[in-house]
Amino acid sequence: MENARAYRFSSRNEAETGRLAGALAQHADPGSVLALDGDLGAGKTTFSQSFARALGVRAVVNSPTFTIIKEYEGSELPFYHMDVYRLSQEEADELGLDEYFYGSGVTVVEWASLIPDLLPAERLTIYIETGADGERQFCLTPSGERYERWCIGLRENGVLA
Protein backbone atom coordinates (compact mmCIF):
# COMPACT_ATOMS: atom_id res chain seq x y z
CA MET A 1 0.00 0.00 0.00
CA GLU A 2 1.20 3.49 -0.80
CA ASN A 3 2.48 5.53 2.05
CA ALA A 4 -0.24 8.08 2.56
CA ARG A 5 0.44 11.32 4.35
CA ALA A 6 -0.58 11.56 7.95
CA TYR A 7 -2.75 14.22 9.55
CA ARG A 8 -2.55 15.39 13.12
CA PHE A 9 -4.93 16.47 15.83
CA SER A 10 -4.11 17.26 19.42
CA SER A 11 -6.61 17.13 22.20
CA ARG A 12 -6.35 18.38 25.76
CA ASN A 13 -9.58 16.86 26.98
CA GLU A 14 -12.62 14.76 26.12
CA ALA A 15 -14.50 17.72 24.70
CA GLU A 16 -11.76 18.32 22.15
CA THR A 17 -11.63 14.63 21.30
CA GLY A 18 -15.36 14.94 20.77
CA ARG A 19 -14.74 17.66 18.21
CA LEU A 20 -12.57 15.34 16.11
CA ALA A 21 -15.01 12.43 16.52
CA GLY A 22 -17.92 14.65 15.55
CA ALA A 23 -16.18 15.95 12.45
CA LEU A 24 -15.30 12.41 11.35
CA ALA A 25 -18.81 11.13 12.02
CA GLN A 26 -20.19 13.69 9.57
CA HIS A 27 -18.37 11.88 6.78
CA ALA A 28 -19.38 8.38 7.88
CA ASP A 29 -21.33 6.27 5.43
CA PRO A 30 -22.09 2.53 5.09
CA GLY A 31 -18.89 0.51 5.09
CA SER A 32 -16.74 3.17 6.76
CA VAL A 33 -13.97 1.62 8.82
CA LEU A 34 -11.87 3.40 11.45
CA ALA A 35 -8.87 1.42 12.72
CA LEU A 36 -7.88 2.63 16.19
CA ASP A 37 -4.63 1.99 17.99
CA GLY A 38 -2.70 3.26 20.98
CA ASP A 39 -1.49 1.94 24.33
CA LEU A 40 -3.72 0.71 27.12
CA GLY A 41 -5.48 3.78 28.49
CA ALA A 42 -4.68 6.00 25.49
CA GLY A 43 -8.35 6.82 25.04
CA LYS A 44 -9.55 4.49 22.30
CA THR A 45 -12.85 3.73 23.99
CA THR A 46 -13.35 7.41 24.87
CA PHE A 47 -12.91 8.31 21.21
CA SER A 48 -15.29 5.52 20.17
CA GLN A 49 -17.90 6.77 22.61
CA SER A 50 -17.72 10.32 21.23
CA PHE A 51 -17.87 8.97 17.70
CA ALA A 52 -20.92 6.84 18.54
CA ARG A 53 -22.69 9.79 20.13
CA ALA A 54 -22.00 11.85 17.03
CA LEU A 55 -23.60 9.07 14.97
CA GLY A 56 -26.67 9.42 17.12
CA VAL A 57 -26.20 6.28 19.23
CA ARG A 58 -28.19 6.86 22.40
CA ALA A 59 -27.40 3.64 24.23
CA VAL A 60 -24.46 3.38 26.63
CA VAL A 61 -21.38 2.49 24.60
CA ASN A 62 -19.02 0.63 26.91
CA SER A 63 -15.93 -1.45 26.33
CA PRO A 64 -16.35 -4.33 23.86
CA THR A 65 -13.16 -6.04 25.07
CA PHE A 66 -15.02 -8.99 26.54
CA THR A 67 -17.58 -9.64 23.85
CA ILE A 68 -15.33 -8.44 20.96
CA ILE A 69 -18.16 -6.92 18.94
CA LYS A 70 -21.04 -4.74 20.09
CA GLU A 71 -23.70 -3.45 17.73
CA TYR A 72 -25.64 -0.23 18.17
CA GLU A 73 -28.27 1.73 16.29
CA GLY A 74 -27.25 5.24 15.26
CA SER A 75 -29.73 7.80 14.00
CA GLU A 76 -29.05 6.86 10.39
CA LEU A 77 -26.47 4.10 10.42
CA PRO A 78 -25.72 1.09 12.58
CA PHE A 79 -22.51 1.41 14.59
CA TYR A 80 -20.26 -1.62 15.08
CA HIS A 81 -17.81 -1.33 17.95
CA MET A 82 -15.04 -3.94 17.89
CA ASP A 83 -12.13 -4.65 20.18
CA VAL A 84 -9.67 -7.31 19.07
CA TYR A 85 -7.40 -6.93 22.12
CA ARG A 86 -7.97 -10.52 23.13
CA LEU A 87 -7.50 -12.00 19.67
CA SER A 88 -4.74 -13.14 17.40
CA GLN A 89 -5.15 -12.65 13.68
CA GLU A 90 -5.86 -16.35 13.08
CA GLU A 91 -8.61 -16.31 15.66
CA ALA A 92 -10.16 -13.09 14.45
CA ASP A 93 -10.21 -14.55 10.96
CA GLU A 94 -13.01 -16.94 11.88
CA LEU A 95 -15.26 -14.31 13.39
CA GLY A 96 -16.44 -13.13 9.98
CA LEU A 97 -15.48 -9.51 10.51
CA ASP A 98 -15.99 -8.75 6.81
CA GLU A 99 -19.74 -8.97 7.36
CA TYR A 100 -19.35 -5.86 9.48
CA PHE A 101 -16.64 -4.06 7.51
CA TYR A 102 -18.56 -4.32 4.25
CA GLY A 103 -21.97 -4.16 5.86
CA SER A 104 -24.48 -1.37 6.16
CA GLY A 105 -22.93 0.33 9.18
CA VAL A 106 -19.87 2.15 10.43
CA THR A 107 -17.16 0.16 12.18
CA VAL A 108 -14.58 1.25 14.73
CA VAL A 109 -11.94 -1.39 15.50
CA GLU A 110 -9.90 -0.94 18.67
CA TRP A 111 -6.41 -2.55 18.68
CA ALA A 112 -6.73 -2.85 14.90
CA SER A 113 -2.98 -3.31 14.38
CA LEU A 114 -3.33 -6.81 15.86
CA ILE A 115 -5.22 -7.91 12.74
CA PRO A 116 -3.52 -6.08 9.83
CA ASP A 117 -4.37 -8.72 7.19
CA LEU A 118 -8.05 -8.77 8.08
CA LEU A 119 -8.72 -5.05 7.83
CA PRO A 120 -10.13 -3.67 4.60
CA ALA A 121 -7.44 -2.12 2.39
CA GLU A 122 -9.40 1.13 2.48
CA ARG A 123 -9.70 2.49 5.98
CA LEU A 124 -8.82 5.37 8.23
CA THR A 125 -6.09 4.47 10.67
CA ILE A 126 -6.00 6.52 13.87
CA TYR A 127 -3.14 6.21 16.31
CA ILE A 128 -3.57 7.83 19.72
CA GLU A 129 -0.55 8.78 21.77
CA THR A 130 -0.65 9.96 25.34
CA GLY A 131 1.52 12.95 26.11
CA ALA A 132 2.33 14.68 29.36
CA ASP A 133 -0.61 16.06 31.39
CA GLY A 134 -3.07 13.73 29.68
CA GLU A 135 -2.79 15.46 26.33
CA ARG A 136 -3.56 13.19 23.37
CA GLN A 137 -1.99 13.26 19.93
CA PHE A 138 -4.15 11.73 17.20
CA CYS A 139 -2.33 10.66 14.06
CA LEU A 140 -4.70 9.94 11.18
CA THR A 141 -3.54 7.99 8.14
CA PRO A 142 -6.06 7.56 5.35
CA SER A 143 -5.85 4.52 3.05
CA GLY A 144 -7.94 4.95 -0.05
CA GLU A 145 -9.57 7.86 -1.79
CA ARG A 146 -12.64 7.98 0.44
CA TYR A 147 -10.61 8.59 3.57
CA GLU A 148 -8.22 10.96 1.79
CA ARG A 149 -11.27 13.09 1.08
CA TRP A 150 -12.37 12.93 4.73
CA CYS A 151 -8.98 14.12 5.92
CA ILE A 152 -8.64 16.84 3.32
CA GLY A 153 -12.12 18.04 4.26
CA LEU A 154 -11.22 18.09 7.94
CA ARG A 155 -8.00 19.95 7.24
CA GLU A 156 -9.82 22.56 5.20
CA ASN A 157 -12.21 23.05 8.10
CA GLY A 158 -9.28 23.59 10.39
CA VAL A 159 -9.85 20.43 12.41
CA LEU A 160 -6.76 18.57 11.26
CA ALA A 161 -3.22 19.82 10.87
Q: Give the residues lining the site for other proteins (CB under 8 A).
A: 39-41, 45-46, 49, 58-60, 62-63, 65-72, 85-88, 90-96
Quick one: 45 or 143, whose CB is closer to other proteins?
Answer: 45
Asked if 79 contacts 105 with a C-beta cutoff of 8 angstroms, the reply is yes
Minimal distance, residue 49 CB to other proteins, in Å: 8
Minimal distance, residue 27 CB to other proteins, in Å: 25
Query: Rounded to 5 degrees, what angle do the CA atoms 133, 139, 142 make?
Result: 165
Quick one: 7 or 100, whose CB is closer to other proteins?
Answer: 100
Quick one: 30 or 131, whose CB is closer to other proteins?
Answer: 131
Residue type, 13: N
Quick one: 29 or 91, whose CB is closer to other proteins?
Answer: 91
Minimal distance, residue 109 CB to other proteins, in Å: 15
Residues 37-52 as b/e (b if ≥16 CB within 10 A, e otherwise) read bbeeebbbbbbbbbbb
157: left (phi over 0), alpha (psi -120 to 50) or beta: alpha
Minimal distance, residue 120 CB to other proteins, in Å: 19
